[in-house]
Structures are given as C-alpha cells and as structure tokens.
Amino acid sequence: MKENQKRQTAASSGSTAATRIERDTMGELAVPADAYYGVQTARAIENFPISPLRMPRSVIRAMGMIKRAAASVNHSLGLLDKKLAEAIKQAATEVVVGTLDAEFPVDVFQTGSGTSTNMNTNEVISNRATELLGGARGSKLVHPNDHVNLGQSSNDVIPTAIHIAAGEMMQQQLIPALTRLHKALDRKAKEFDKVVKIGRTHLQDATPVRLGQEFSGYARQIELGIQRVKRAQDALCEVALGGTAVGTGLNCHPKFSSTVMAIISKETGCAFKEAKNHFEAQSAQDSLVEASGELRTLAVSLMKIANDIRWLGSGPRCGLGEINLPETQPGSSIMPGKVNPVIAESVTMVCAQVIGNDVTVTIGGQAANFELIVMMPVMAYNLLQSIELLATASDNFATKCIEGITANEERCKSLIEESLAMCTALAPEIGYEAAAKLAKDAYKSGKTIRQMAKEQRVLPEKRLNELLDPWRMTEPGGPVGSAGG
C-alpha cells in the first residue's frame, strides 16, 4: 500500500539525519531529530526489520480516534488537565486525518499484542501535543503513557482499533460497493428476462433457463453477501476497551469505555459498545474470525459469479458466447484482436487472496493463550485487506464489466435447439427410458431432439411443439415426471 511505502521511506531516511537522544525504561536510544515518534518506536524499527508491510491506514485512523475520544473523556472525568487534553485531541486529529501517516513505520510482524503500534501512536501524539504546547519533541511535556495512554492498555486498545477500522470500512466502502454490484446484476436480470438459453449442470447441457434467471441468482448471492457483511459488523460491535491489561479494568475509570465508544459510534456511524465480558474480548478474537468467515463466503460467491461470466462470454466464435463482455484492453501480445475477460479474472484473484487471508485470520484466532491473543497485527492486516479488496473489486466488477454486458440472443436460441436435454420435457408423457433412447438416437444421427421426435412420431406434432417450447421449460408446472439431474 502506498501509505505504508511512504512510512517506510520516511523512517529509513530519518535514520541518516540528525538525531536526538530519548530514554525509556530500557535506557537511551537515538531517534531521528525530526521524528514525532519516540524511543519505543525506534526500538520496534530495529527489532522488526521483517517486511515492507505496515499497519493499515484504517487502523492508524482508528487509533487516533480512540486517543482523541479518550483525552476528551478523561478530561470530563477530572483525570486530565484541560490544556493537555486539548493538545492531545488536536494531535490525535492529525493522526485521524492522515497528516502524520509517515510517522508510523512499525512492521506488521511485531509484538503479537500490537504494543509497538500502540506506543508508536502514543509517542507521535505525545510529541505533537508537546510541540503544540511549546515544548520540544522528546521532552514528554505531554507523556505518552501517563497522558495519551491514560486508562488504556495495548491489550484493549489494539483489538478495539481493529474492530473500529473493520466496521467503518465495511460501512463506508464494502457495503456501498456491494450495493452497486447488486443493483447492476439485478438490472441485468430484468433486462435479460426474455432471453431463453440452455441450462448447464456438470458443465453438460441441461434444460432451458432464462438468462435473466441466471443473473437473478447472481444478484441474490450479492444480496445475501450484504447481509453477511452486516452480520460481520454485528460480530465486531463489542470492543475490548476498558479491560486494560487482562480484562479486569485495572487503572481505568468504570465509565471510560462506554463514554469513549459512544463518541466513536457517533463519529463513524457504526454501533460500537463495551464488551459484555472483557475476559472474552481480550483473551480471544472469535469475532474477527467470524467476520473473516463472512468475507470468505462473500469471496466464494464472487468467484462463482465471475467464473460464470467468463464462461458465458467465452469465444467470441468457438466458445459459449451467450453474452458479450465489454472490451477493456487488448488480450494478447501475440494474437491480434484477442480480447480477454480481464475484469472477471481480476475478481477471481481477489477472491483467492481473501480466502487465503481467512486462513491467516483463523490461525491467528487460535493464538489465544490465557488472557491475551498474540497475533493481532497480522489478523488486522489480513482482515482489513480482505475488506478493501472485496470493496474495490466489487465496484470495478460492476462498473467495468456487469453494467456493460449484452446478451447474444441468436446464439442462445441456436444452442437450445441443439441440446439433447430437450428430451426431458417429453419424459413425463413418453417415459424416461423412451426419452433417453430418443436422445441417444438424436446424438448418433446428429439430429436435434425435435427432428428425431418428429421422425419417430413419438407424439402428435402439435403436442410435441407444446412440450418442446423452450419458454415453457423455464417455468414451473406442466406434466409431472423426472426432471433430470
């Protein structure tokens, strides 16, 4: 992600510039003089040179929101001086809007509780607030622990930030994208309702179906996907904030969490609330596993739809060719004029990534030992990447593929008449075995079911035409009998 690259570049370039010396409980360490982060962040940079991956912007935004609301609530509870609270709130706002993104260089693969990210946030806000009050960076006029982290622990702040980030991304990005995709598919279902085509089961010819009926199935899948995302939001609504280190709420005012979450719920438009049981909320993250599972199911739905679109549009002359896909780019570096279903292919790759991400989140959920789960950062990265990818891919799928699809009606008609599965409509009147023999005879001779049935005079022509009407086969009712498989 671009913001992660900027953070990494800023962190590495700062190491060659002038430095200041900061001290923590482990001793002194040089920190880039112009950095807002402090000594604990500098230690984390040294300790975790693992990857180019950084905590997603959505988590950093959520961290800023928590710290800002915490300062406001701690002041209202008489625990924090007004001047300090206002400075912290202003600095935290800069974190929320992204002004200080370059100050978050810590690798995703860090301490399993996300303590390094929490302290990174505390230090950035501390130094920026100190600067706002006229102090020097590193002087701790506004203290990262005593003031910014007041009433909090990494163990309750980090999972809370992940829940906020995921819930807000679902609300602001994923649900709107899925809604657009659902509407696009639903419009096509109505547009294609008069187009009768051959159905397929086991990739073999089956009885007729309307193209609109196929698309209505896709639309319903996405409609159900939206419901699954909303269930994921419900799973994430309870947050750990207020439990502090192990869930007991030590060093935290009893009203702190509920008041902070009321502020954040209003800001995000999502309903967050203090966990009913802090020991569950901090010692496990079944809610993240559940949410990821809902996203995995959505990915499976999208994979099916995208693959069907690819198959239906295959050709243009030697494939199924029942729909025409929008032409977006040349498809081959060697075959002139070739156009590929690239938008649908990009969707399938996103789905593969999301399914893989779910495995990581699931394994992370098993890393819950006693009072703490210790794979929070990597769970956050994968879950939030899944939300982002599903949102952008769904929107792109709708705008660059689904909305521009047209039906190849003549192709649909010609394939129906060629299908041997048309004999299914005759089975209730002539019997299953006679219909099967008819199909085999038609196949051997190269004739259609209609032609062979007329030749063998299995039924009067008028009745034959009634039963072999493709439209009638797309509706329930008619003679009752075995309907295929």
From 51, 332, 414, 445, the catalytic residue: 332
Distances 434 to 424, 429, 438, 440, 442 between C-alpha atoms, Å: 11, 10, 6, 10, 12
Q: Is 298 helix (H, G, I), strand (E, B) or coil?
A: helix
Q: Which of 41, 21, 37 has its CA nearest to residue 29? A: 21
User: Cα-flanking dihedrals φ and ψ of residue 136, to 5°?
Assistant: -95, 145
Residue 325 DSSP code: P
The CA distance from 145 to 393, in Å, is 41
- What the block records as the tokens of 424 is 């299914």
332 part of the active site = yes
Name the nearest CA neighbour of 155 among 374, 323, 348, 9. 374
What is the spatial distance between Cα 356 and Cα 121, in angstroms, rounded to a whole number?
A: 29
The one-letter amino acid code at 243 reads G
Q: Tokens 């809902």 identify what position?
A: 294
How far is residue 358's CA from residue 354's CA, in Å, rounded to a whole number? Answer: 6
- Count CA atoms within 13 Å of residue 227 on its CB side: 7
Which of 376, 405, 481 lies closest to 436 in space, CA to CA?
481
Q: What is the largest CA-CA distance in the chain?
A: 100
Which residue reads 């705008």 in tokens?
399
Do the beta carbons of residue 36 and residue 127 sit within 8 Å?
yes
Q: Is 253 a catalytic residue?
A: no
- Helices and strands in the chain: count of H runs, count of E runs: 19, 10
Residues annotated catalytic, as ranges: 202, 332
